[in-house]
């Protein structure tokens, strides 16, 4: 089912994974048909009220429930994400594929590791920084460190 694990796909796409970007694109094409009508209904609902506090009932009267609003928001977020990713400079390790945002020695690393499992976090020993793993996504904030060394150390820590 598309649009499941939405923010997980977002993070994967940010790291430069093809899978993540594909999931987001699937989600958007899945929602595309419905969204036009939902948007029209929301505009009508907003135009029908004189005072702001009547919005909740007006939205329901025009046949929108909270799930429809989630669909609208998901569509917009995925539209922005699809155009934006991936950004940053690509870094490749043996298992890791990542994107670094920042300068040579101070950067934010968002990496993707296919097939990795588990939740881990901790600080790095050979460079100054902190990392966190959520299954296939690894995020590290490096305050001082060499890119190659950071990648090498992360590959030891993550499984």
Q: Which residues of the shown chain bind other proteins in the complex (CB under 8 A)?
A: 4-8, 10-11, 14, 42, 46, 49-57, 59-60, 65-67, 69-70, 72-74, 76-77, 80, 101-102, 108, 110, 121-122, 130-132, 134-135, 139, 141, 143
**Secondary structure of residue 138 in the 3-state scheme:** strand
Q: How far is CA 95 from CA 5, 37, 66, 111, 119, in A?
A: 23, 44, 41, 10, 17
Whose Cβ is closer to other proteins: residue 67's or residue 156's? 67
Whose Cβ is closer to other proteins: residue 102's or residue 126's? 102
Provide, rounded to whole angstroms, the least separation between the CB of residue 18 and other proteins.
Answer: 18
In residues, how long is the chain?
Answer: 159
* Whether the bond into 86 is cis, omega within 30 of 0: yes
Provide, rounded to whole angstroms, the least separation between the CB of residue 61 and other proteins.
Answer: 9
As beta bridge partners, residue 133 has: 120, 138
Residue where the block lists tokens 């005072």: 51
Whose Cβ is closer to other proteins: residue 54's or residue 94's? 54
Whose Cβ is closer to other proteins: residue 50's or residue 94's? 50
Provide, rounded to whole angstroms, the least separation between the CB of residue 88 and other proteins.
Answer: 11
Provide, rounded to whole angstroms, the least separation between the CB of residue 29 and other proteins.
Answer: 17
User: CB neighbours of 103 closer than 8 A, spacing ≥ 6?
Assistant: none
Provide, rounded to whole angstroms, the least separation between the CB of residue 94 and other proteins.
Answer: 23
Tell me if 140 sits within 8 A of 111, measured CB to CB: yes
């Amino acid at each position: 089912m598309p649009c499941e694990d939405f923010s997980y796909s977002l993070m994967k796409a940010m790291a430069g994974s093809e899978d993540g970007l594909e999931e987001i694109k699937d989600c958007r094409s899945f929602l595309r048909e419905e969204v036009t009508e939902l948007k029209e209904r929301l505009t009508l609902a907003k135009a029908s009220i004189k005072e702001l506090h009547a919005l909740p009932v007006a939205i329901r009267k025009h046949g929108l429930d909270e799930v429809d609003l989630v669909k609208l928001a998901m569509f917009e977020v995925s539209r922005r994400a699809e155009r934006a990713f991936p950004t940053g400079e690509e870094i490749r390790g043996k298992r890791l594929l990542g994107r670094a945002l920042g300068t040579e020695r101070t950067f934010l690393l968002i990496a993707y590791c296919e097939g990795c499992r588990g939740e881990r976090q901790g600080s790095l020993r050979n460079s100054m920084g902190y990392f966190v793993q959520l299954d296939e996504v690894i995020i590290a904030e490096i305050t001082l460190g060499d890119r190659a060394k950071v990648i090498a150390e992360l590959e030891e820590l993550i499984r």
